[in-house]
Amino acid sequence: MTLARSTPALAGAYAASLAGRSRDHLPVPWTADSGIDDCARFCAHVLWGGKPGPISWVDNFKTAGDGSYAAGADDLRPWDVLLFDWEGNGVGNHVEFMVADLGNGYVRTFGANGADTRAAAYRLRPKSYILGRFRPRWSVETRPTPQSLTTPTTTPRRPLVYTFVPIGKTLYVVSLVNGNRAPIRGATRGRNDHELLRRWRDNDGSDTMLETEADIVRGYLQKIA
C-alpha cells in the first residue's frame, strides 16, 4: 500500500475537510455501505484513499503496511491511528486519529462512527482505553518555519497546518504537524482572533490582511511551531 496523503498535515487537513459527513447520509468518500461500522474505513481512506480503503477492520491496523504498530499509549503523535479496546480483552473495537494529548488522561481525536454520532468529528477519549497506535510511515515533512511565519499577507497559505479544537469552554488552535496547541483569545469589540486564524488558513490569495492582523496570526503560529 502507498499512502495517498504522505504527511500528517495533509492527512489532517483532508480528514478535517470531511467533518460532519456520515454514512447515514450517503454518498461519502470512504464507504458505500450505510450498514457497516466504518471507523476503520474512514481512517484507511484518509491515509490510503479508496472506497472503501484497504482496511475495514480495526485490528488490521496492527499489521498494516506503510507504517508500524506499537502497543500502549506511551508514544503518541498527531495523526497516529489509535486503536481503542472498550472491553479490556486485547481486541480493538474502534479507531480514530490522534490529534492532541491534553495532559489530563484524555486525548483529542478525530474520526467517524463514534457512539455520540456516526459523523466524522472531534472527540474526547480516555487514554486508558488505548490498545495501541498505528503510525504511518510519513515522508520527511517540513515543520512550520520562520518562512511560513513571514509569508506576505496577499499570498495563499497552503498546505493547511492547523485546525481548531474546542477543549472544555476554550477554543484552541492545534498544529496538524506536531500537536502543539495554544488557546485562542476570546473575541472582543474590534478583535476576533479565531476569525483572523480562519482567514489566514483559508486564504486563497484574494484576502489582503492588514499587517497588524497578520502579526496576531504569526504570534499563534510561533506558539504552536
pLDDT band for position 212 (cuts 50, 70, 90): confident
Cell 498527531 identifies what position? 78
93 Cβ neighbours under 8 A, 6+ residues apart = 58, 84, 85, 86, 87
Closest CA relative to residue 210, chosen from 188, 190, 186: 190
Helix (H) / strand (E) containing 195: helix 193-202
86 Cβ neighbours under 8 A, 6+ residues apart = 93, 94, 129
pTM comes to: 0.71
Residue intervals in the chain for CATH 3.90.1720: 8-136
Cell 515533512 identifies what position? 141
Please report the pLDDT score of residue 70 as a whole number. 97
Burial class (CB in 10 A: 0-12, 13-18, 19+), 30: buried
Over 50: is that where the pLDDT of 158 sits? no
Gap between the terminal Cα atoms of the chain: 31
pLDDT band for position 160 (cuts 50, 70, 90): low
For 78, the grid coordinates are 498527531
pLDDT digits (tens, 9 = 90+) for 30-79: 999 999 989 999 999 999 999 988 999 999 999 998 999 999 999 999 99
pLDDT band for position 159 (cuts 50, 70, 90): low
pLDDT band for position 13 (cuts 50, 70, 90): confident
Separation of alpha carbons 209 and 225, rounded Å: 21
171 Cβ neighbours under 8 A, 6+ residues apart = 164, 165, 183, 184, 194
Residues of the chain with pLDDT > 70, as a percent, come to: 91
State the Cα torsion 111-117-119-123 to the nearest 10°.
-30
What's the longest Cα–Cα distance across the chain? Answer: 56
Phi, psi (degrees; rounded to nearest 5) at 215: -65, -35
The chain-wide mean pLDDT, for the chain, equals: 87
Residues of the chain with pLDDT > 90, as a percent, come to: 56
pLDDT band for position 157 (cuts 50, 70, 90): very low
For domain 8-136, the CATH class is alpha beta
Over 50: is that where the pLDDT of 180 sits? yes
* 107/115: higher pLDDT: 107
Over 50: is that where the pLDDT of 16 sits? yes
For 97, the grid coordinates are 486519529
Over 70: is that where the pLDDT of 83 sits? yes
Over 90: is that where the pLDDT of 152 sits? no
Separation of alpha carbons 108 and 34, rounded Å: 26
